[in-house]
Amino acid sequence: MYPDYSRTSTARVPGRNGGCLVVEAKGQQDHRLPFVLAVPLDLSAEDFSQSLRDNVPGVPAEFELCRVSSTREVVPLADQCPLDIRNRRELNRSNSYLRPKRAPSQSPAGIGRPARGAIKRAPSHSPAGFGRPARGAIKRAPSHSPAGFGRPARGAIKRAPSHSPAGFGRPARGAIKRAPSQSPAGFGRPARGAIKVSLDQLILRFQLENIDTERPLTVAVRRQNVLKSAFSVLSRSYFEWQREPRMEFLNEMADDYGGPRREFQRLLMMAIQGTLWVFEGRSNELFFTYDLRALEQQKFFKVGKLTAWSVAHGGPGPRSISRSVYLLMCHHSAPLSDLDVGVLLDEDKGGKLQQLKACRTEEDLQRLKVSCGDWVSDCGVPSFYTSTLQEMPQVIERVVANYCFHRVASMVQQYTAGLNSCGRFFDLVSANWQQFLPIFCSTGGKLTRQTFRGLFLTDWSPEGSNARGEEEETIFQYDDWLIKVEEGEVDATFEDLLVFVTGAGHPPALGFPRKCEVHFFDQEPGTRRLPYASTCALFLYLPRGVREEEDFADMMSTSLVGSLGFGKV
């Protein structure tokens, strides 16, 4: 962003991102990808301005937010805080512009007529260095020009334009130098020391550029066969992955305001891993299956497309692909010598691999070249016959790489092509593989009681009321039950409870649209209502006045196990 009339686009806000305003900033002369910033809606005008100064490169100290009117005039916005900008729709279809608060005569680009009494500057003194110098003006060598135009004078110091924060002159002492690959949007491989863009910002920008919230796509879902429902909608002529999906579960009472979609996306990722047989291995370290029939049926492509569809609309990814496979898939090296690929090998080949790993002496190596030489050569390592003892770690890594990646390269390629069929999504993943790693791989982190409690607010009755006292009785039992969940004393997990309340097994990458809430209800005389939830509103409803530990635990267990779908207990 340059200190002239720079542009900041704030007109497009994702429909499901209720808690923040997304700002996409780009200087007029800056050809890098734009900078993406998500700011809370409840910021004041002063805090919003300060956030832009702190996070967007090149923003002047004093500026005003403007828009372009229908007559192409630049007009200051009446509202300067995020919530009013979004709600009042003052921008309409215009972008928002940052205009420095300067007198016209001091305009950096020299635009407009100077005010009366303003000091006139010769064109040769212009910061951009354009135009012919006035008579008597001091001539400056082109190499000294802040913009660096023209051929440098003999002996002049050459300055790289990329070193300037705004592209002008030498950077101030202590300024951060950014190479072109350090684009604020985080695409491409970042240079050493580059600031990484967060996962939520990457997904938000992808949504801004691709997702269509104006034409929802209705998806009929049969809970007993979610995968078939997904394949069915993919085959429809009207299917467009950009359209925001609205799920309708068969024979279940629910309008999709977020909950049914999260439920569908979670069930879809589970079905892809468990019933389609395109992956094999342990649940937290899956490998691609070598299946030529599945390759011919385009199953890997469909799975990639469904994965990108889920993540693009705020859902989960597989969260279970082997980290080594993921790194190789994203064109990075991966440690393979200790990778357990036993699930991919039969007993004979598994035994041979263990013999390679146990090789310690020259005698062992010569014996292995006789007994395992042909097999190692078939794995793509014919140089094994001339390898030395010191080269054995590389030999083992190549054998392992053959089974976990190179042998299934066609399957991996088809899967990434499916990902790329949704707005070149895999290109984004590959360029930002570290941020997307928790979407595709297991990071081993499980929800804790503290993390789970941090997702919720409690809707209390007024202090001192009878209802408040009964609510405190219930919350005491609720907290005690959560401790038992953490200690493994009850047959439930925090993930199970999160599914019950939200439909999602883990907090989404973009977070929930709002805080989850605990609400209360009164038990009617002669009845025993169980705890229930609204996955769209993100509400958990608990009965007031539960005083017995066993009674509360029994009700929670019955609700979690007996929940058969939306509107069914």
Query: Among all chains, which residue has been given the structure tokens 């929940």?
Result: 563
Q: Give dist(CA 16, CA 302) in Å, integer.
A: 26
Residues 84-113 pLDDT 10s: 776 665 665 556 677 777 544 444 444 444
Q: Give dist(CA 200, CA 20) in Å, integer.
A: 12
Give residues with Cβ within 8 angstroms of 459, minimum separation 6. Answer: 517, 518, 519, 520
Residues 254-264 pLDDT 10s: 788 899 999 99
What's the count of helices (H) and strands (E) in the chain, helices before strands?
Answer: 19, 14
**What would the two tokens of residue 330 be?**
């994203």
Cα separation values, 80 from 56, 98, 387, Å = 17, 11, 69
Other beta carbons within 10 angstroms of residue 281's beta carbon come to 21
Q: Give dist(CA 341, CA 318) in Å, integer.
A: 19
Q: Give dist(CA 529, CA 24) in Å, integer.
A: 48
**pLDDT score at 316:** 96
Cα separation values, 237 from 8, 249, 299, Å = 37, 21, 19
Write the burial class of residue 418 (CB in 10 Å: 0-12 exposed, 13-18 middle, 19+ buried): buried
Q: What share of the chain is helix, strand, coil (3-state, %, to 5)?
A: 40, 15, 45
Please enumerate, as own/partner, the contacts of 40-46 that have beta carbons within 8 Å and a separation of 24 or more. Answer: 40/82, 41/82, 41/83, 41/86, 42/82, 42/83, 43/81, 43/82, 43/83, 44/81, 45/80, 45/81
Query: By C-alpha distance, which of 260, 278, 267, 197 is closest to 227?
Result: 267
Other beta carbons within 10 angstroms of residue 371's beta carbon come to 10
pLDDT winner (highest mean) among 122-131, 161-170, 330-339, 541-550? 541-550
Q: Give dist(CA 111, CA 114) in Å, integer.
A: 9
Residue 478 confidence class, pLDDT cut points 50, 70, 90: very high
Q: Which helix (H) or strand (E) holds 540?
A: strand 539-543
Q: Give dist(CA 4, CA 27) in Å, integer.
A: 9
* Alpha carbon 66 to its chain's center: 30
**pLDDT score at 455:** 95
**pLDDT score at 90:** 61
Query: Among all chains, which residue has been given the structure tokens 């953490």?
Result: 486
Threshold 0.85, pTM exceeds: no
Residues 36-78 pLDDT 10s: 566 677 778 888 888 787 777 667 778 788 777 666 677 787 7
176 - beta bridge partners? none
Query: Among all chains, which residue has been given the structure tokens 């082109």?
Result: 142
Report the Cα–Cα distance between both ends of the chain, in Å, rounded. Answer: 56
Mean pLDDT of all residues belonging to the chain: 79
Residues 287-329 pLDDT 10s: 999 999 999 999 999 999 999 999 999 999 999 999 999 999 9
Give residues with Cβ within 8 angstroms of 22, minimum separation 6. Answer: 10, 12, 13, 14, 36, 37, 38, 204, 205, 208
Other beta carbons within 10 angstroms of residue 450's beta carbon come to 9
